[in-house]
């Protein structure tokens, strides 16, 4: 850790003193400063957690900033969220395929609020990501579809994911981009409202 530089990005890897074992977390961080000799880091994204329906590669961090800004503008508070690409959702919906791909976001709001936040999310993401905005302008990517899930859904998702994987409950992190159709179906079954 003594060799890291401020404003550089790194992937976290843990090893033992002899270097025989390594564990890749998949977390990518940026060093933003130092506290004495210890680096101060800022989480950026997890490896493999990009949204990518047209080679645009929207990072978890970029999407989170757009979602947070749109929720602030809407005056609602979020409990948790995750996303899926339309190709995964299409597999669940009887194998039909969307004419134009898009992002699907599942959001649990505090106190079960339901507010139309779809337009602000899409607008915020277009303002943050030039590439996403370009694909939206050309009509190559459809607007984001927002699903408001019932209260407690992400607690249930955590239990479901732990029961259906070999990972430890202590290691579980909510995946921001779902890649498994069964996890997406789990959320689809708990949708209260869909904001198209």
Q: What is the pLDDT of residues 22-74, one digit of tens each?
A: 777 667 788 899 898 888 988 776 766 788 899 898 988 899 999 999 988 88
The pLDDT confidence band at residue 171, using thresholds 50, 70 and 90, is confident
pLDDT score, position 73: 87
How far is 57 from 60, CA to CA, in rounded Å?
9
CB 73 within 8 A of CB 127: no
How are beta strands 191-195 and 22-35 bridged, if at all?
unpaired
- Residue with structure tokens 């190559």? 140
Residues 71-110 as b or e (16 or more Cβ within 10 Å = b) = beebebeebbbbbbbbebbbebeeeeebeebbbbbbbbbe
pLDDT score, position 50: 82
pLDDT score, position 153: 95
pLDDT score, position 172: 79
Per this entry, what is the length of the chain? Answer: 196
The pLDDT confidence band at residue 117, using thresholds 50, 70 and 90, is low
Structural domain spans, the chain? 9-46, 75-115+135-195
Cα dihedral sign, 53-141-154-9: positive
The mean pLDDT of the chain is 86
Q: What angle do CA 159, 161, 164 make, to 5 degrees?
A: 105
Q: Is 146 exposed, middle or buried (0-12, 13-18, 19+ CB in 10 A)?
A: buried
pLDDT in tens, 86-107: 998 988 876 666 678 999 999 9
136's enclosing H/E stretch is helix 130-138
The verdict on pTM exceeding 0.75 is: yes
pLDDT score, position 116: 60
Q: How many helices (H) and strands (E) does the chain have?
A: 6, 7
pLDDT in tens, 70-82: 988 888 889 999 9
pLDDT score, position 15: 82
CA 17 to chain CA centroid, Å, is 34
pLDDT in tens, 120-142: 899 999 999 999 999 999 999 99
Which residues does residue 24 pair with via DSSP β-bridges, in sequence order?
A: 13
How far is 65 from 59, CA to CA, in rounded Å?
10
Q: Is 48 exposed, middle or buried (0-12, 13-18, 19+ CB in 10 A)?
A: exposed
The pLDDT confidence band at residue 119, using thresholds 50, 70 and 90, is low
pLDDT score, position 18: 75
């Amino acid at each position: 850790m003594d060799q890291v530089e401020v404003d550089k990005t790194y992937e976290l890897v843990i090893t033992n003193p002899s270097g025989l074992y390594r564990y890749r977390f998949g977390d990518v961080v940026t060093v933003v400063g130092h506290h004495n000799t210890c680096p101060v880091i800022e989480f950026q994204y997890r490896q493999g957690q990009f949204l990518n329906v047209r080679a645009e590669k929207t990072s978890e961090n970029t999407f989170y900033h757009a979602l947070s800004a749109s929720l602030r503008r809407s005056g609602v508070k979020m409990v948790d969220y995750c996303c899926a690409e339309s190709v995964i959702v299409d597999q669940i919906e009887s194998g039909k395929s969307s004419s134009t791909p898009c992002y699907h976001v599942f959001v649990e709001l505090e106190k079960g609020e339901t507010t139309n936040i779809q337009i602000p999310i899409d607008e915020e993401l277009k303002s943050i990501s030039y590439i996403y905005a370009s694909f939206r302008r050309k009509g190559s990517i459809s607007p984001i579809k927002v699903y408001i899930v019932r209260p407690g859904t992400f607690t249930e998702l955590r239990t479901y994911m732990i029961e259906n994987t070999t990972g430890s409950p202590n290691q579980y992190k909510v995946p921001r981009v779902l890649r498994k159709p069964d996890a997406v179906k789990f959320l689809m079954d708990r949708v209260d409202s869909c904001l198209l």
